[in-house]
């Protein structure tokens, strides 16, 4: 962990310490205890002491990090107004010249099992401005509900995090495409390797994090034929293609013949599951609703919210809804019928302050890796013809 946190490969560390790569590998895997000479050489190369590198050590002191989302609710203490410290698992990653904390809860903290944490958030601290401007009023979508602003950022919170292990170079990407975690494997194969962290959220929230410089890339939908018109993008940001798909209604298979569009859902009194304000899928539903002159009250379940494409499809399969707006890959992955409404491109927006970083350059490199392209091609419904293509 100390080697990876400094961005060294085993071969690079071995050369700096004057030992063989096999010796470094044997020590790291626990197959060999280093001699005093090797231990001193490794510690010196890593800029630390033998005790810190090989001893049990003391608990790591907390570091200040900016959290991309509020921590869980505070507990009540012994007296009036007292609070218990928050102890919430987070992924702790360096982004630029600061640490960023991604709370590991709900869909963000579990794949098929719990994800490893980088630290524990031990208390709340103070607000951290998330950009040069601060929103005074959140804009409202077609349904009248607040959604993330395109040109302003709300304040983020600084928290204290006690690291579980040393943070390592990590590409942090926010967005809703469930194919994003496929980036982890080719990033790990780089020499030296780079870790990957995904913060699942809608396009509006992803752009808000990018404008605040808290992610290396934001995944954003566009229905134009290129990289988008630049509206709401951070100044000087680079836009790179990732995937494209059809977006539409994921429908229970037995309703395939009767659900031909949103009007049929309203007419038959079927239940939908919606996405959160700021998500492009919600905007698409609202555009289709406006085109058909439907009110939110005409759609049962309009006020329900699912956090992503796969979550919408899962809710339909579980019988919690009859339909919902999701990507075609998500609908087909769950065996659902699909009614297309639009064709969308999913691009990665890299803030100007991070374009030259090691993490952003690693991301650009793996976007054209044969392994990643083969994986994307294996998932029905994805178009990868623009993966890695730069639009700005």
Burial of 263 (0-12, 13-18, 19+ CB in 10 A): middle
What average pLDDT score do residues 223-249 get? 77
User: Which pLDDT does position 347 carry in this prediction?
Assistant: 96
pLDDT digits over 179-194, tens only? 999 999 999 988 888 9
pTM above 0.75, yes or no: no
Burial of 69 (0-12, 13-18, 19+ CB in 10 A): middle
Of the listed ranges 18-22, 118-122, 267-271, 283-287, the one predicted with least confidence: 118-122
What average pLDDT score do residues 65-92 get? 65
- Nearest Cα residue to 344 out of 223, 225, 212, 263: 223
User: Which pLDDT does position 314 carry in this prediction?
Assistant: 94
CA 14, CA 25: separation in Å to the nearest integer?
9
Domain-wise residue ranges, the chain = 2-54
Q: How confident is the model at residue 108 (pLDDT cuts 50, 70, 90)?
A: low
pLDDT digits over 112-153, tens only? 577 788 889 876 555 555 444 333 344 445 555 545 444 334
- Nearest Cα residue to 195 out of 43, 366, 336: 366
Q: Given a cut of 90, is residue 303 above it in pLDDT?
A: yes
Joined together, the tokens standing for residue 280 give: 């492009």
More confident call, 370 vs 108: 370
User: Which pLDDT does position 292 carry in this prediction?
Assistant: 97
Peptide bond into 192 cis (omega under 30): yes
Q: Which helix (H) or strand (E) holds 15?
A: helix 10-17
Length of the chain: 392
Joined together, the tokens standing for residue 231 give: 């509206």
User: Which pLDDT does position 115 carry in this prediction?
Assistant: 79
Question: How would DSSP label each residue in 235-290?
Answer: TT-EEEEEEEEEEEEEE-GGGTTT--SHHHHHHTT-BEEEE-TT-HHHHHHHHHHH
Q: Taking all residues of the chain, what is their mean pLDDT, rounded to a whole number?
A: 84
- Nearest Cα residue to 246 out of 322, 319, 156, 346: 346
User: Which pLDDT does position 229 carry in this prediction?
Assistant: 45
- Nearest Cα residue to 252 out of 239, 270, 236, 266: 270
The residue assigned the tokens 């505070």 is 74
pLDDT digits over 311-354, tens only? 999 999 999 999 999 999 999 999 999 999 999 999 999 999 99
User: Which pLDDT does position 118 carry in this prediction?
Assistant: 87
Pairing of strands 195-200, 238-251: unpaired
Joined together, the tokens standing for residue 360 give: 């952003």
Joined together, the tokens standing for residue 24 give: 């470094």
Structurally, at CATH architecture level, domain 2-54 sits in Orthogonal Bundle (1.10)
Joined together, the tokens standing for residue 129 give: 């401005």
């Amino acid at each position: 962990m100390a080697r990876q946190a400094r961005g060294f490969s085993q071969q690079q560390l071995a050369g700096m310490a004057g030992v063989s790569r096999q010796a470094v590998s044997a020590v790291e895997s626990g197959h060999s205890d280093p001699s005093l000479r090797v231990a001193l050489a490794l510690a010196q190369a890593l800029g630390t002491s033998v005790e810190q590198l090989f001893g049990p050590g003391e608990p790591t002191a907390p570091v200040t990090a900016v959290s991309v989302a509020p921590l869980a609710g505070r507990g009540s203490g012994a007296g009036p107004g007292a609070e218990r410290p928050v102890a919430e698992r987070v992924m702790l990653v360096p982004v630029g010249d600061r640490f960023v904390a991604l709370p590991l809860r709900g869909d963000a903290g579990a794949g098929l099992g719990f994800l490893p944490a980088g630290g524990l958030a031990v208390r709340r601290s103070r607000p951290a401005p998330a950009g040069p401007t601060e929103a005074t009023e959140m804009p409202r979508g077609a349904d009248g509900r607040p959604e993330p602003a395109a040109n302003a950022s709300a304040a983020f919170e600084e928290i204290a995090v006690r690291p579980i292990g040393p943070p390592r170079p990590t590409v942090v990407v926010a967005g809703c495409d469930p194919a994003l975690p496929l980036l982890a494997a080719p990033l790990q194969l780089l020499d030296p390797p780079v870790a990957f962290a995904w913060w699942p959220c809608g396009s509006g929230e992803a752009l808000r994090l990018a404008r605040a410089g808290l992610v290396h890339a934001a995944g954003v939908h566009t229905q134009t034929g290129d990289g988008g018109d630049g509206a709401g993008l951070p100044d000087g940001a680079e836009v790179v293609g990732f995937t494209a798909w059809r977006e539409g209604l994921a429908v229970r298979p037995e309703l395939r013949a009767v659900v031909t569009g949103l009007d049929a859902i309203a007419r038959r009194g079927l239940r939908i599951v919606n996405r959160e304000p700021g998500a492009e899928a919600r905007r698409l539903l609202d555009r289709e609703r406006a085109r058909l002159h439907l009110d939110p009250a005409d759609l049962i379940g309009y006020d329900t919210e699912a956090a992503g494409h796969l979550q919408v499809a899962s809710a339909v399969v579980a019988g919690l809804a009859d339909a919902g707006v999701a990507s075609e890959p998500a609908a087909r992955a769950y065996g659902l019928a699909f009614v297309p409404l639009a064709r969308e491109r999913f691009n990665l927006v890299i803030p100007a302050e991070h374009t030259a970083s090691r993490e952003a350059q690693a991301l650009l490199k793996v976007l054209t890796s044969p392994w990643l392209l083969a994986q994307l091609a294996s998932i029905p419904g994805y178009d990868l013809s623009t993966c890695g293509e730069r639009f700005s």
